Amino acid sequence: MKTVILLGGLVAAAVAAEPVSGQDFDYAGYEDLFREPVTVSATGKPERVSDSPVLMTVITAEDIARSGARDIPTLLGRLPGVDITHSTAGVTSVGLGGYVQPSASRVMVLINGRQVYFNGLGDIFWSSLPVELEEIRQIEVISGPQSALYGFNAVDGVINIVTFDPIDDHVDETRARVGTQARRDVEASTTQSFGDGAGLRLTAAADHVDDHGSVGRRPVSEAAPLDPGRRAFSLDGGVRVGDFGRLGLEASHTDISQRSIFENLFFDARTKTDALKGSYSVDTSLGLVGSSLSYTGVDMPWIQARVFGGYHLFERSGDAQLSDVVKLGGDDIVRAGLEGRRDRLDAPGLVGGRLSGDLAAGSVMWEHRFLPSLSAVNAVRYDYFKLGRSGTVLAQDIFRNADFDRSDQGASVNSALIQKLGSDDALRLSFSRGLALPSLAEFAELGRFPRPSTGLLFFGNPDLRAAGIYSYQGAWDHQFRDLDAVGRLSLIHDWTVNRFGTVYRRAGGAQVQMPAMTGGSVTNGLQLSIDRKTMDGWTWGANYTYQRVHEHPDRGLRDGAPLNKVVAHAGYAWRSWEADLYGTYASETDAILVTSPRQRAAQSVPIKETTTLSPRLSWRPVDSLTIELAAENLWPYQDTRYFKLDTSYYLTVRFSY
């Protein structure tokens, strides 16, 4: 017990002298010291994951290497409380806490602290993320509303992808993969050091797979087959400035083509995303000061379907953040933060005029240690959002630009406590209130489906308000020393007030579909997990998730995620060989099939329970070469109304230098 308390005090003192922004923290040094992952995502300050008061799960680089997965959603879907669905061969949705819907994400996704959630469309395009699995140090998944730290829309949780630091961590490797469905992937990363205090990593990748797996496709909405493709390039650099400062620069470009689906209609789209981020952090007499500026541009030069032709979409986002972490005595740490954000959405034919969203926010986090084994963290953030629209209004629009001259604001709160019960047990309790803001497209969507389709008009709603989400969570962690394993029991209760839904109205002699505040929902969940991780010999684990969504009224979410999910894995490493097997069971779900938008007709379509296995075998004949055989979905299954996952086999060759 004395050893645990001593290490806890040592890390608290040590990280108080570290910068606290993304890669700025010395992950490798503290992981070697404490033999466990460390994080800055949970509270905005550096800490060991075992000391974090929030419910966090970390996927490490070692986990990724042993997974056999080829994308991030596959990794996430093996965690308790995380659900994934596939709309097409190139589109995956990820949900936490029982909410998983295409084009309606409630999860904030970050890469080294930079938001990659598209505010304009209210979604995350996973294939457009400019990061390869080989670059990732760890993926941190926090469940429950985290708006007090990350703002609007971090209401079901936060997923922060942390890459290796180009100053201290060299990633020099090449990967090639071939597989069924004409899978062809290539990737290469190289890192260049400039003395002891500067480094630069360059990464390029290209992916291709045949269009496959679609079921129930209607001829009227079927466009020509589109093979999902991806091209990506990224740059990540860092420079130490003096003894206590760090300057960082990240830039990326992705170009993807893929098929999406909405209300029985298939959309083919090309999406080009450019991102740039600069950061600077320094330890001063006023505390640990961190700052960042970032820009994201999304250009969809064509989005098209057979029934209505195509349109063009632009989204531009700029974000500025400033934070300061101050240690007050031996028991208190305070973090203050400011954020400003500007979003612009221009989509001729989809929305009337040019939409804008401006946000200003301030936050404060306070951690107090009552005892060496008992500490609490409280955070509050206030957001102010200003909506606007300018430009030409389309003739069929039922709203004028003046209707969009409005604002919304609110406070988010997080409060969490951790109690260490001896050296083997920890108890966590938390309460949080988050805010979910509509996307810009939901505020002002506009589109007409001409004959031979329905003639139905789609409008946004500038009167939408932020939805409130309340969450109560409790968890007990126990270390099974005889098994060299760690177990967790979690209980979750979430309450969503006035979530976003869809209503039908008559306007101008036509039937109109538009978003509205349509009532709330309650989610109750239980999660169990146990894991044993080693570099050699046996590694194994299993988790179970129970979650039930109660809607008021029922609009299709109740059974949108499986009531029961079980994931198990086992692996063995011996000399130059590794073998791993992952198995997943998910109970039956329901999908909503819109049979006639004009008559507002829909029906619930059952999706059968699924059981599948994904094996992996790896051989490393020399230190620089790895050859891997892997399979996904040995038993094909369908997890949405429109897509079936076929069995896939892959051969991957990695060369490091």
Q: Per-residue pLDDT tens for 153-205? A: 788 889 999 999 999 999 999 999 999 988 999 999 999 999 889 999 999 99
Q: Among candidates 252, 299, 300, 247, which has minimal Cα distance to 276?
A: 252
Paired residues of 650 in beta bridges: 179, 630
| C-alpha gyration radius of the chain | 24
| Residue 76 confidence (pLDDT) | 95
pLDDT band of residue 36 (cuts 50, 70, 90) is confident
**Exposed/middle/buried for residue 516 (C-beta within 10 Å: 0-12, 13-18, 19+):** middle
| Three-class DSSP category at 81 | coil
d(CA 16, CA 6): 16
Residue-by-residue DSSP string for 194-239: -SSSEEEEEEEEEEE-----B-S--GGG--S----EEEEEEEEEEE
Helix (H) or strand (E) holding 614: strand 610-622
Tokens 């829909």 label which residue?
602
pLDDT band of residue 541 (cuts 50, 70, 90) is very high
**N-terminal to C-terminal alpha carbon distance within the chain:** 43
Q: What does DSSP assign to residue 454? A: -
In the chain, the largest separation of any two C-alpha atoms, in whole Å, equals 76
d(CA 502, CA 519): 11
d(CA 258, CA 226): 7
The per-residue pLDDT for range 355-390, each reduced to its tens digit, is 999 999 999 999 999 999 999 999 999 999 999 999
Paired residues of 198 in beta bridges: 239
Domain ranges across the chain: 2-656
Tokens 């709160």 label which residue?
413
| Lowest mean pLDDT, pick from 121-135, 164-178, 408-422, 574-588 | 121-135
The residue that leads in pLDDT, 386 or 211, is 386
| Lowest mean pLDDT, pick from 40-54, 136-150, 431-445, 560-574 | 40-54
Beta carbons within 10 angstroms of residue 603's beta carbon: 10
Tokens of 240: 């130490």
The rounded Cα 67 to chain-centroid distance in angstroms is 19
Q: Among candidates 324, 321, 323, 315, which has minimal Cα distance to 341?
A: 321
Highest mean pLDDT among 21-30, 99-108, 419-428: 419-428
d(CA 48, CA 12): 9
pTM score of the predicted model: 0.90
d(CA 18, CA 26): 8
Contacts (Cβ under 8 Å, ≥6 apart) of 158: 41, 107, 108, 109, 110, 140, 141, 142, 146, 149, 150
Q: Do residues 197 and 626 lie in contact, with contact meaning Cβ atoms separated by under 8 Å? A: no
| Residue 267 confidence (pLDDT) | 75
Spell out a b/e string for 584-594, using b for 16 or more CB atoms within 10 Å of the CB, else e.
Answer: bebbebbbebe
Paired residues of 268 in beta bridges: 259, 304
Tokens of 306: 């057979």
Spell out a b/e string for 211-240, using b for 16 or more CB atoms within 10 Å of the CB, else e.
Answer: bbbbeeeeeebebeebbbbbebebbbbbbb
**Exposed/middle/buried for residue 524 (C-beta within 10 Å: 0-12, 13-18, 19+):** middle
d(CA 260, CA 228): 10
Paired residues of 304 in beta bridges: 268, 310
Residue-by-residue DSSP string for 15-61: HTTS--SGGGS-HHHHHHHHSS-EESTTTSS-EEGGG-SS-EEEEEH
Please determine, looking at this structure, whether the domain spanning 2-656 carries the CATH number 2.40.170.20: yes
Highest mean pLDDT among 18-22, 348-352, 523-527: 523-527
Tokens 């209760």 label which residue?
493
The per-residue pLDDT for range 516-539, each reduced to its tens digit, is 887 788 899 999 999 998 767 899
Q: What does DSSP assign to residue 483? A: T
d(CA 489, CA 260): 37
Residue 452, preceding bond cis, omega within 30 degrees? yes
d(CA 531, CA 478): 11
d(CA 565, CA 174): 35
Q: What does DSSP assign to residue 171? A: -
| Lowest mean pLDDT, pick from 261-270, 285-294, 411-420 | 261-270
| For the chain, percent of residues with pLDDT exceeding 70 | 84
d(CA 583, CA 108): 27
Q: What does DSSP assign to residue 351? A: B
